Amino acid sequence: MLYSNEKINAKNKKTIKEEILKLKIEKNALILAHHYQSMEIKEISDFVGDSLELSKIATKVDSNYIVFCGVHFMAESAKILSPEKRVFLPNTDARCPMADMVTKERLETMKAEFPDAKVVAYVNSSAEVKSISDICCTSSNAVNIVKHLEAKEIIFVPDQNLGAYVSKFCPEKTIHLWKGFCPTHHRVIGAEVQNICDRYPSAKLFVHPECRPEVLEMADFIGSTAQIIKACETSEEHSFIIGTEKGVIDTLRAVHPEKEFYMMDDTMVCKNMKKTTLEDVLKSLKESYGEIQVEPEVGARAKSAIFKMIERS
């Protein structure tokens, strides 16, 4: 039985959801949510997916009003691919610490240090960084992008763990790693993972390549957020230890109650991804709050780097 304050909170949330759905229809708006968002945000969204997947969806739908529930670089990527559309980030404080670890100015300094190197930018980066990169990549296609890029020397930004994972498959390349990382994935060490594997010996370990190399070595499967979800869906195994943000486990538990899912570590919660609330989404729809702007010249160069990746994927 709900206590009185919980009943009020539930009633308020129901009212907010109803208002969001009403405004969404009135404005012909599209609500996109990354896998790492809370379940209540995912429940009112039109599409849930990885950042680039959602940005590509935004280009195809008949809507000029996009509310992107994620972090800043994601909404920025949607704007880059759909410059004619209005894109909104409901909570403007929601940023990606890893994306903020690389700046255009610092990357230009590194490019000067390695003038023969091509720059591969993980999509978890700003429009400015993408604009001075040769090509982008995602966690699912990074190996393929680097392997087939016509360059023997690579600057890989900003995730050192994904870059180190890629380098294992491209020994013929010299890869200069940017010293960036995702705090949510990087904080987990091998000893902690071993502890949970010992607790659930029959569970398969599925992890994201943003994890430390020592953790990746222990994994039964390594893949992007979407690849992990698909692998769990298609696997005949019953129990899984999931090495990525908690939002993925929330989705898996909701969709596959017949299977068992354990967090690789209880600290794997992205505070920035969880900043977006129903109230934020409502404010974006009501007040056109949080509109993303990208300078046309920067956006055009960044779009070129993204499209080079899409063409090769």
Question: Tens of pLDDT along 205-226?
Answer: 999 999 999 999 999 999 999 9
Average pLDDT, the chain: 96
Question: Tens of pLDDT along 182-197?
Answer: 999 999 999 999 999 9
Q: Domain spanning 188-263 has what CATH number?
A: 3.40.50.10800
The share of the chain scoring above pLDDT 70, in percent, equals 96
* pLDDT value for 234: 97
Instruction: Give this prediction's pTM.
Output: 0.93
Question: Tens of pLDDT along 93-144?
Answer: 999 999 999 999 999 999 999 999 999 999 999 999 999 999 999 999 999 9
Question: Tens of pLDDT along 3-28?
Answer: 455 555 766 888 999 999 999 999 99
Question: Tens of pLDDT along 146-155?
Answer: 999 999 999 9
Query: What is the CATH topology of the domain spanning 99-181?
Result: Rossmann fold (3.40.50)
Within 13 Å of residue 146, how many CA atoms lie on the same side as its CB? 33
* pLDDT value for 13: 86
* pLDDT value for 8: 52
* pLDDT value for 7: 53
Give the chain as a 3 state SS string: CCCHHHHHHHHHHHHHHHHHHHHHHHCCEEEEEECCCCHHHHHCCCEEECHHHHHHHHHHCCCCEEEEECCHHHHHHHHHHCCCCEEECCCCCCCCCCHHHCCHHHHHHHHHHCCCCEEEEECCCCHHHHHCCCEEECCCCHHHHHHHCCCCEEEEECEHHHHHHHHHHCCCCEEEECCECCHHHHCCCHHHHHHHHHHCCCCEEEECCCCCHHHHCCCCEECCHHHHHHHHHHCCCCEEEEECCHHHHHHHHHHCCCCEEEECCCCCCCCCCCCCCHHHHHHHHHHCCCECCCCHHHHHHHHHHHHHHHHHC
* pLDDT value for 9: 75
pLDDT at 280 over 90: yes
Closest CA to 289 of 70, 28, 65: 65
Q: How far is Cα 66 from Cα 285, in angstroms, rounded to an integer?
A: 9
Q: Supply the Cα-derived Rg of the chain in whole angstroms.
A: 20
* pLDDT value for 12: 86
Residues of the chain with CATH 3.40.50.10800: 4-95+274-293, 99-181, 188-263
3.40.50.10800, 3.40.50.300, 3.40.50.970, 3.40.50.1100: which CATH number matches 4-95+274-293? 3.40.50.10800
pLDDT at 66 over 80: yes
pLDDT at 1 over 90: no
